[in-house]
Structure 1
Amino acid sequence: MVDWSAIAIVFSVYAAAVVIPGPNFVAVTHKAVAGRRSDALALVAGIVTVNLFWATCAILGIGMVFAIFPWLAVGVRLAGAAYLIWFGLRLVVSARATPSGARHPTKAPLFRAAFLQGIATNIANPKSIAFYAAVFSSAVPTHVSMPTFFAMLATVGASATCWYGAVALVLSHTVIATAYRRAKAWIDLTCGGLMIALGIRQALR
């Protein structure tokens, strides 16, 4: 039997957290305006996949693991911060590249790369790790039935897909993509700077 009260708590907690801009939002935004719509959606799929992974870990007790092994939490946090800084630096360095008339060469097989980028961005996202290890895990009942477990995962997956998917679809519109090409340097510098700032902030916490 599904515990609908637990599902409601999970939805309210996750919905409030997912709309707060962070590394995932920045990555989706940049991919949507700079890449093809299919690549932006592939990146969203990668992010959703990792959300389901972290939600599973939280339900099974990842918060307890980090409490027993605090050095593991520190290691994950620093590794995530390093990735965000690296990714931000890549955007800053490429900010001055001259945008072409098309978004990407049609021969470039970017769908798989975008999916893997979504996984890498979210698996190293300190915001996601901290949320699932602390807030999400504390909102989940200690023992849940299998139907409730899968309903929780479905709630997380649907919420993440709807939010990031909507961002990707809206920002990948032709008009917005054209505006991006006109202001590529500033947008890349802004996104790169945000990633670097988020990484430094996380490393110094």
Structure 2
Amino acid sequence: MFDIHAIAVVLSVYVVGVIVPGPNFVAVAHKAASTTVHEALGTVAGIVLVNLFWASCAILGVGIVFAAFPWIALAVKVAGAGYLVWFGGRLIWKAGAQGETPMTARLGGVRRAFREGIATNLVNPKSMAFFAAVFAAAAPAHVSVPTFLGMLGTVAVVASSWYGAVAILFATPRVAHRYRRHKASIDRACGSIIVALGLRQLVK
């Protein structure tokens, strides 16, 4: 049976969760402004794929696993925080470097951006915490296959629409031009935000 009420609840919760800025937002915005819209959309595709994975885990009971085995949750938390610190630190370190040329971006940037989207979201503490707690609580304990697929479809549409819009906006010539004019300072700011999110996750 298709439970439209359960999907509506998940939709209302997920829209709020995905719009709140975090590492995914910063990664997409930075990629769009610094390279091309195609690379940014590659990053979006990676993020959406992992969101579908986390949503599936939440619906199937990953929150119960974390509650039963706290060390797993701790290990995931530390690994995610460590990646964010590394990712943000790399942005700060390379803030003054020149970006890739459009030809370089066309030759392999989209696939690399896709992998970066997967990596960023796979160890994103914000995503893991949201899906393990909030999303899992919003989803019913038992769902039919049609409802399960409907929930995943909701996640895919919302995430693709939001992050896709962010990618297109930050890839517009005006925004991209402003980014390139202030690349060093913006990269340092983005890197600092990501590092701060990682450190906050370690001490939270």
In the TM superposition, residue 126 of structure 1 has moved relative to its aligned partner by 0.2
The equivalent residue for 1:16 is 16
TM-score by length of 2: 0.97
Return the offset for 1:156. Answer: 0.6
Deviations 1:173-201 (A, max 9, x none): 11211111100011100110001000000
Partner of 2:187: 188
Q: CA 1:76–1:104 in structure 2 vs 1: closer, same or farther (change >3 Å)?
A: farther
What 5-or-longer segments of structure 1 have no aligned partner?
none
What are the within-5 Å matches in structure 2 for residues 32-43 of structure 1?
32-43=32-43
Distance 2:150 2:2 in 1: 7
Q: Distance in 2 between matches of 1:107 and 1:35?
A: 10
AA at the equivalent of 1:75? A
Instruction: Specify the alignment match of 1:174 in structure 2.
Output: 173
Matched, 1:54 2:54: yes
Contact 2:36/2:105 (8 A) holds in 1: no
Which residue in 2 is equivalent to 1:204? Answer: 203
CA spacing shift, 1:47–1:107, aligned 2, 3 Å: closer
Task: Give the letter for the 2:38 counterpart.
Answer: S
3-state SS, counterpart of residue 96 of structure 1: coil
| Cα distance, 1:99–1:125 mapped onto 2, change above 3 Å | closer
For residues 128-139 of structure 1, the aligned pairs below 5 Å read: 128-139=127-138
Runs of 4+ in 1 over 3 A off after TM superposition: 102-108
User: Is 1:81 the counterpart of 2:81 in the alignment?
Assistant: yes
Separation in 1, partners of 2:177, 2:131:
37
Is contact 2:33-2:170 (8 Å) kept? yes
Give structure 2 stretches of 5+ with no counterpart: none
Structure 1 length as normaliser, TM-score? 0.96
Offset of 1:105 from its aligned partner? 3.3
TM-superposed deviation, 1:98: 4.0
Contact 1:77/1:202 (CA < 8 Å) preserved in 2? yes
Deviations 1:55-87 (A, max 9, x none): 000000000000000000000000000000000
Aligned-residue identity in percent? 55
Give the structure 1 partner of residue 93 of structure 2: 93
Cα distance between partner residues in 2 of 1:106 and 1:24: 20
The corresponding residue for 1:71 is 71
Amino acid at match of 1:73: A
Distance of 2:103 and 2:200 partners within structure 1: 32
Corresponding residue of 1:123: 122
Report the CA distance between 1:96 and its aligned residue. 1.5
Superposed CA deviations along residues 125-176 of structure 1, whole A, max 9, x for unmatched, are: 0000001111111111111110000000000110000000000011101121
Match of 1:147 in 2: 146
SS at match of 2:88: helix
Cα deviations by residue, 1:21-78 (Å, 9 ceiling, x for unpaired) = 0000000010010011100000000000000000000000000000000000000000
SS at the partner of 1:109? helix
Look up the equivalent residue of 1:39 and give its one-letter code.
E
Aligned length: 204
State the distance in 2 between where 1:171 and 1:128 align.
22
Please give the alpha-carbon distance, in whole angstroms, between the structure 1 residues aligned to 2:9 and 2:191. Answer: 34
